[in-house]
Structure 1
Amino acid sequence: MKELMDFNFWEMIIRTTLAFAALLILARILGKKQLSQLTFFHYITGIAFGSIAAEMAGQTDVPFVDGLIALIWWAVLTLLMSYLSLKSAKFRVIVDDEPSIIIKDGVIMEKAMKKMRLHVDDLLMLLREQSIFSIQDVHYAVMETNGELSVMKKTAQQGATKQDVQAPVTLPKYMPSEVISDGKFVQKNLVELKITEEWVLKKLRKKGIDSVEKVFYAQIQTDGSLFTDLKKEDS
């Protein structure tokens, strides 16, 4: 029994060392990308790559050579996909997808949102991470293939600050918050902002909107005005 345990111990040490060396060499051959630059394809490829190496190292019933062949072939397939992606734009779209515009001139692109299964709350979170609290401040927002959001602010929101031009600074009355989502009031935010549905409806009527069901998204602004994005008939 002791001899068997010693054999398994040294076998695991050797298998793990060889698997580690193979993984290191192949990883250097494949190249490197920052984690934030990884597309979904590269992400799952990396997981599969590590899983094969783990099987090689820890499973004694799996022949080491078989695992090494699988690891090398996986690396070859990954290199092939990367090469074809560099040579063909159409193939690159198949492998990595393509960026999607989800806000255009302050208007949410509902079709793009639905295609990516992205909720408005998720979009707002991504904007807040870039210190943007109002959708109407955004000229373009593009969802990149790595899942990050690239934003171009409207010209009026860029450049000089109020301090630069010595303009008077007033405290915001409200924090920009969602009050209507997909034709329904967001009751939690109404309560927190201490405003009523009737107050919002009056704001809508001033904009010529007679029904909350017609509104895809509405957000109260810092000055108490209401930003609205109507539903599209073809969405």
Structure 2
Amino acid sequence: MFFHDWQGVLRVLLVGTMAYVALILMLRISGKRTLSKMNAFDLIVTVALGSTLATVLLSGDVPLAEGVLALLVGLQYAITWLSVRSDRIQHVIKAEPTLLVRDGQLLRDAMRQQRVTVEEIEAALRQSGREGLTDVKAVILETDGTLAVV
């Protein structure tokens, strides 16, 4: 239960080190966007990458080369490259920002559709140094889930 054999321990050490190096290389190749504030697509790819590397690390049935070649970071790079060049692909991959407050007035239909509460908007106002909605031009739900106060 706690220890099977030294071969398993050595495999985890060796494969873990090599997987770590491969992950760093993939993240450096894919660019800063991979580690920036994530939209839903980025989050899914990051979780899938972690799951793939965990499987490689803990399962003797999946070789390191196959896990590294799962191409998740490469696919993310390709999709983001395409989304920068195609409005159609960008629309599929990324959500649009949503206006939740306009000229100090709550847009309740938009809030309900995006499942944002008044309390969350008030918290965003406090974080931006505002006391209330009266001096707010807009509150926008950004594509990464943050609330921007204008």
Bin of the TM-score, shorter chain as denominator length: 0.7 to 0.9
Q: Which runs of 5+ in 1 are unaligned?
A: 153-235
Q: Residue 101 of structure 1 corresponds to which residue in structure 2? A: 99
1:126–1:149 Cα contact (<8 Å) kept: yes
Q: Does 1:14 align with 2:14?
A: yes
1:56–1:64 Cα contact (<8 Å) kept: yes
Deviation at 1:58, TM superposition (A): 1.9
Deviation at 1:36, TM superposition (A): 6.1
Query: TM-score, normalising length from structure 2?
Result: 0.87
| Aligned AA (1:98) | E
SS of corresponding position for 1:37: coil
2:100–2:107 Cα contact (<8 Å) kept: yes
Specify which structure has the higher proportion of strand: 1
- For residues 87 and 38 of structure 2, the distance between their equivalents in structure 1, rounded to whole angstroms, comes to 18
- For residues 133 and 41 of structure 2, the distance between their equivalents in structure 1, rounded to whole angstroms, comes to 30
SS of corresponding position for 1:98: coil
- For residues 10 and 66 of structure 1, the distance between their equivalents in structure 2, rounded to whole angstroms, comes to 19
Deviation at 1:61, TM superposition (A): 2.9
Q: How does 1:46-57 map to 2 (within 5 A)?
A: 46-57=46-57
| Aligned AA (1:68) | V
Deviation at 1:145, TM superposition (A): 0.8
Question: Among the aligned pairs, what percent are the same residue?
Answer: 29
Higher relative contact order (CA 8 A, sep 6+): 2
Q: Residue 125 of structure 1 corresponds to which residue in structure 2? A: 123
- For residues 13 and 82 of structure 2, the distance between their equivalents in structure 1, rounded to whole angstroms, comes to 38
For the pair shown, the structure with the greater C-alpha radius of gyration is 1
- For residues 136 and 142 of structure 2, the distance between their equivalents in structure 1, rounded to whole angstroms, comes to 16
Q: How does 1:1-235 map to 2 (within 5 A)?
A: 5-33=5-33, 37-70=37-70, 73-152=71-150
Q: Which runs of 5+ in 2 are unaligned?
A: none
Question: 1:67-103 CA distances to partner (integer Å, 9 max, x unpaired)?
Answer: 2222xx2122111110111012232122121111111
SS of corresponding position for 2:15: helix
Please tell me the root mean square deviation across aligned C-alpha atoms, in Å.
1.9
Deviation at 1:35, TM superposition (A): 5.9
Alignment: residue pair count? 147
- For residues 148 and 35 of structure 1, the distance between their equivalents in structure 2, rounded to whole angstroms, comes to 16
CA distance 1:9–1:50, shift in 2 (3 Å): same
1:36–1:146 Cα contact (<8 Å) kept: no
Question: 1:131-188 CA distances to partner (integer Å, 9 max, x unpaired)?
Answer: 2221122111211111122222xxxxxxxxxxxxxxxxxxxxxxxxxxxxxxxxxxxx
CA distance 1:6–1:56, shift in 2 (3 Å): same
Specify which structure has the higher proportion of helix: 2
SS of corresponding position for 2:32: coil
2:45–2:73 Cα contact (<8 Å) kept: no
